[in-house]
A and B are shown apart, each in its own frame.
Chain A
């Protein structure tokens, strides 16, 4: 028994009835309630009961589809969803400790709107907001906006120079999006609101800053209409599967989700992200690398695997995923997490196969097991998401102290 095992961070990824396409057919699922506040409130309360660091909420600007290229016309899977930022806003006032991290799509949204929405989520949650930034390469989603077209490509051609250019462009734009969002969060210094009755000034306008962001696809003047949020900088996260998105994680994120299938892959990915982090001048910043895993969890050995087979049969095909699919007991999962943790991952984002079953299995089975091993918290130790992730509240890039040192984060992440 090691004297001080490395503590793990745990998040759970919420999406409809769960990640398996047939999850909604399980008796425990409530497929007619997926669009209600009560459904989401219940899930997040369960996650908070398990002392998890945060939940992420999936989203997209088109109907869910099993195809990467557009609608699939299927009627046997969950279709239709609510805006993730608003789900997060709805549940935030009803929770106290857990972080809320909705997905936002950088490709089609306005950084100005996203920045103030997440800042507001940070206010309504008293410092527990984050975002998960995503790109959209789907042509059908571009057609919902009618402002631009995404060049068509086949996933098989991912490694060709033409496709690499398209993907690089989308991820560069996402990095610009995050940069603009972050500058807007800092565009008010913390003490800008002075309410000086003597001079009649509500704010000290010298403490508000134009961000003057100029990017390849957009420019944003600023300042934000929303004052700096409680955390200063809400937590930025991104899912990444290859070098180009690893670079986005390294340049712009606080947490990256990656999909290694074993410890060696985990080690290699972490190494690649650290190298990109150095190249981006962020060697001194904490960037968590979380492993994503789809989980089927049951106490009885074999039960999880049997459940997986049953769901695959209902779906008519075996479930495949970008992430490793784990089916087993909480003890087995705890072993795997510790093994991957030793390879350099600082936490995990678990994707419950059937949320009504596997989320409580995480909070009531896995979490106690990890607590027994002294690798997970026994109580919330902080009031903010940054606090839970061990991230200090950052100084404002526009504050005079930082500007004098010439060491503004703006200069190092651009």
Chain B
């Protein structure tokens, strides 16, 4: 029963504004200077990664009514920094997280089409939604969108953007200097969209880009999010980096594709994964423990407990036991601008479970937070990590991983230097880029090649 070996897809997530990123390390550099982004991107390209990934948040996080100051704060504009990176890389895909709530389709489509032109076909869009009035305070729209409409807006936003990408077919620019005909069609870019969320018409002004459309990522994990991905995404940025959870998610999502007339290989599943390497497995384990303590200071532990308790717990000792009081079950008010708090759907049950685990293991608040979160996906020697990653992918726990180093900008270097060559030796990872566009790297067809008959002409 031999199945052909799957080729592993790897990508790099620029360390984000959360406590995974260890800014206190002496090796930690700037999160905003372009040199950090350039270093990170060049390492990813040296390692022949598919793409670099940038997250986004459009309002600085707050906790207890104050700007959250314990994690890295501040990041650049996604489009501008990705386009600048196109100047210092040649093959690396450039994936940006762009919100469908606080943008308009015409603008976002022209920005992605421009990025795709300026990178010769390396653009990808991680479509995210939000609805919160907190972020809305930074925008003309304000917090206008009821929560239950966020996916319907996201779906219509993506559909509208696709109509704009497809409004040029790629053959309109003739530019015949002799005859003086520049465009073959005066109506190039014409579009009309009338829907629940958008009622727009006119002419799109960016001609068709090399990839036709950017590669589409989806990151949500809800039932709606999975359907959204199955219906129209090219890749999923998931958070199930363990073997069992990964397999369950993989089977679930891939199983949804047939309903949309799509093949198994038309949606890649790429979980985010942290890693810690060492010369030996034991050394890596030891280092990983240190990293986890650096990621969860006493102050951070209290703040994370507040995500569940929805109360000010600043009077508690992080090295002491968990609070006896129960979480406040009202609307979550303590932490703002954080999707994470929505993970705890039953705070009372979580609090009960955590108290029991802490008591059984004699854990302090900080120990508990360290043990319940932030466990690195891959810890070990380069050989162990290479073997584990390959095993996960061959076992259909994923199609590869989006690696999240904890140090900026050098956190990827050791992975590139030690793990990648081992994967290449096993024949499960490319030794050089074979194509030029991100679709090529991901094994995705150009949208014109995929379009069902009759669709292109519409």
Contacts and interface: CB of A to CB of B under 8 A. Distances in A.
Interface of A: 22, 24-27, 29, 31-32, 35-37, 41, 60-64, 71, 73-83, 85-87, 89-94, 108-110, 112-113, 116-117, 119-121, 123-124, 126, 140-141, 143-147, 188, 193, 195, 197, 199-205, 208, 217-223, 225-227, 314
Given A86-B83, A90-B86, A226-B32, A205 B200 contact: no
Majority DSSP secondary structure for residues of B touching A: loop
Given A80-B172, A81-B205, A86-B115, 7 more contacts: A60-B205, A79-B188, A82-B117, A86-B118, A93-B88, A146-B198, A208-B67
Given A32-B175, A82-B206, A86-B111, A76 B181 contact: yes
Contacts of A219: 137, 142
Contact of A143 (B71, B77, B202, B299): B202
A79 B188 CA distance: 9
A218 B139 CA distance: 7
Nearest to A70: B202
A174 B115 CA distance: 26
Interface string B61-85: 0000011011111111101110110
Contacts of A29: 177
B106 A144 contact: yes
Contact of B182 (A77, A87, A202): A77
B102 interface: yes
Contacts of A199: 299
A116 B77 contact: yes
Interface string B186-228: 1011000000001111111111000000000000000000000
Contact of B80 (A31, A73, A89): A89
Given A75-B186, A93-B34, A146-B199, A225 B57 contact: yes
Interface in B131-157: 137-140, 142
B118 A31 contact: no
A75 B68 CA distance: 54
10 contacts: A37-B86, A80-B173, A94-B87, A116-B80, A117-B79, A201-B70, A202-B69, A217-B140, A218-B140, A220-B137
A222 B138 contact: yes
Contacts of A87: 114, 118
B387 interface: no
B173 A143 contact: no
B281 interface: no
B395 to A, nearest CB: 39
A110 B139 contact: yes
Contacts of B207: 35, 80
B106 A145 contact: yes
B106 A61 contact: yes
A193 B30 CA distance: 10
Interface residues of B, number: 75
A203 B73 contact: yes
Nearest to A32: B175
A303 B102 CA distance: 52
B183 interface: yes
Contacts of A80: 168, 172-173, 183, 188-189, 205-207
B202 A62 contact: yes
Interface of B: 23-24, 32-34, 38, 57-60, 66-67, 69-77, 79-81, 83-84, 86-88, 102-104, 106-107, 110-111, 113-115, 117-120, 137-140, 142, 168, 172-173, 175, 177, 180-186, 188-189, 198-207, 297, 299-300
Query: Which 4 residue pairs are nearest across A and B when measured between Cβ atoms?
Result: A221-B137, A31-B175, A120-B80, A124-B84
A408 to B, nearest CB: 21
B285 to A, nearest CB: 24
Contacts of A93: 34, 38, 84, 87-88
Contact of A205 (B69, B114, B142): B69
Contacts of A62: 202-203, 205
A397 to B, nearest CB: 19
Contact of A227 (B32, B114, B184): B32
Contacts of A123: 32-34, 76, 81
A37 B120 contact: yes
Given A29-B177, A83-B206, A201-B69, A90 B118 contact: yes
B180 A116 contact: no
B80 A143 contact: no
A202 B72 contact: yes
A296 B206 CA distance: 28
Contacts of B118: 36-37, 82, 86-87, 90
A90 B34 CA distance: 12
Given A62-B202, A83-B111, A93-B38, A119 B77 contact: yes
Contacts of B200: 143-146
A89 B79 contact: yes
A314 B176 CA distance: 13
Contacts of A35: 117, 206-207
A195 B23 contact: yes
B110 A83 contact: yes
Contacts of B137: 219-221
A29 B203 CA distance: 25
A89 B88 CA distance: 12
Contacts of A60: 205
Nearest to A204: B69
Contacts of A83: 79, 110-111, 114, 206
B138 A121 contact: no
B79 A86 contact: yes
Contacts of B120: 36-37
A152 B104 CA distance: 23
Nearest to B175: A31
A225 B58 contact: yes
A218 B142 CA distance: 9
Contact of B66 (A120, A140, A205, A220): A205
A92 B184 CA distance: 33
A216 B297 CA distance: 45
A90 B72 CA distance: 26
B303 to A, nearest CB: 10
Nearest to B102: A110
A123 B138 CA distance: 22
B363 to A, nearest CB: 20
B80 A220 contact: no
Contact of B70 (A89, A200, A223): A200
B140 A110 contact: yes
B76 A116 contact: yes
A270 B114 CA distance: 37
Contacts of A204: 69
A314 B104 CA distance: 39
Contacts of A226: 32, 74-77
Contacts of A27: 177
Contact of A75 (B104, B139, B142, B185): B185
B202 A75 contact: no
Nearest to B297: A200
A193 B185 CA distance: 53
A136 B198 CA distance: 20
A36 B69 contact: no
A294 B69 CA distance: 51
Contact of B177 (A24, A63, A109): A24
A126 B35 CA distance: 10
Contacts of A32: 173, 175
A124 B182 contact: no
Contacts of B177: 24-27, 29, 31
A247 B124 CA distance: 41
A225 B83 contact: no
A77 B177 CA distance: 11
